[in-house]
């Protein structure tokens, strides 16, 4: 009896392990990113629920099977956001035939001014495959908290601009956070790390 139980336990344990392997895409020899930060031990952005420009609800699992690269910004941003989007478009070019695997996701921090139409036209000007997500100001605030993304409105005259974190977050094809890419990295450096991640998942 005890013998049987322990055997069962072992089989169950193996099953759980097997599932873990399937679910997590474990790297055989560790993830060795040259430029970005390994985020495998961090849990960020697991439960966001936002809408895309067509009004579809999108969660992290919507991007299952692709390598989503998520970052935050606003369309009235003169510098960091167009630079990050232009870099993402260039990364896709550098990735060549693997480019289709990368899903660029831009989340607005200015949902009051960035209508779905403006957002859609804006990100698609950089690459037609890019997705933009928005939500209510409360939803965006919750998502930013979830990603530990800092942002704040800065009043300028009778309007405002926004200061915000500029990091891009990359998940593997099983929706596990893997990599963060700083704003100062160039497209070639980012591409190298993204290809490293693709090797495992």
Partner 1 sequence: MAISLQPIKRGLAALALMGMALPALAETSVSDAWVRATVPQQHATGAFMVLTATTDSKLVGVASPVAKDVQVHEMTMNGEVMGMRQVKSIELPAGKAVSLDPNGYHVMLMGLHEQVKEGTQVPLTLTIEDAKGAKQALQVQAPVRGLTADGSTGGHEHAHQH
**Cα 168 to Cα 183: distance, rounded to the nearest angstrom:** 8
Q: Which listed range, 38-46, 53-61, 95-103, 110-118, lies at the site for partner 1 (CB under 8 A)?
A: 110-118
Is 190 flagged in the annotation as binding?
A: no
Q: Which residues fall within 8 angstroms of residue 121, CB to CB, at 6 or more apart?
A: none
Closest distance to partner 1 from the beta carbon of 2 (Å): 55
Here's the x/- map for partner 1, 64-103, by CB under 8 A: it reads as: -----------xx-xxx-xx-xx--x--------------
For partner 1, the closer of residues 26 and 52 by Cβ is: 52
Closest distance to partner 1 from the beta carbon of 36 (Å): 12
Is 81 flagged in the annotation as binding?
A: yes
What is the size of the binding site for partner 1 (CB under 8 A)? 34
- The side-by-side arrangement of strands in the sheet containing 102-108 is 37-38, 177-181, 168-171, 67-73, 102-108, 131-134, 49-52, 57-59
**Cα 200 to Cα 197: distance, rounded to the nearest angstrom:** 6
**Cα 39 to Cα 24: distance, rounded to the nearest angstrom:** 13
Phi and psi (nearest 5°) for 51? -115, 145
Binding site for partner 1 (CB under 8 A): 75-76, 78-80, 82-83, 85-86, 89, 113, 115, 117-118, 121-122, 125-126, 150, 154, 156-159, 161-167, 182-184
């Amino acid at each position: 009896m005890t013998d049987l139980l322990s055997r069962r336990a072992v089989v169950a344990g193996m099953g759980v392990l097997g599932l873990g392997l399937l679910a997590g895409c474990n790297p055989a020899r560790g993830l060795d990113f040259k430029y970005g930060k390994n985020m495998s031990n961090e849990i960020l952005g697991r439960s966001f629920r936002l809408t895309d420009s067509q009004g579809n609800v999108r969660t992290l699992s919507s991007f299952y099977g692709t390598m989503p690269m998520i970052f935050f910004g606003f369309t009235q941003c003169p510098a960091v956001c167009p630079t990050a989007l232009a870099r993402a478009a260039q990364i896709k070019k550098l990735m060549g035939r693997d480019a289709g695997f990368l899903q660029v996701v831009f989340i607005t921090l200015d949902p009051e001014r960035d209508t779905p139409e403006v957002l859609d036209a804006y990100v698609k000007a950089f690459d037609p495959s890019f997705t933009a997500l928005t939500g209510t100001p409360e939803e965006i605030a919750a998502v930013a908290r979830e990603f530990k993304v800092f942002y704040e409105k800065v009043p300028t005259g009778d309007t405002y601009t926004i200061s915000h974190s500029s990091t891009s977050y990359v998940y593997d094809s099983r929706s596990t956070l893997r990599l963060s890419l700083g704003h100062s990295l160039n497209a070639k450096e980012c591409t190298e790390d993204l290809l490293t991640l693709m090797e495992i998942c």
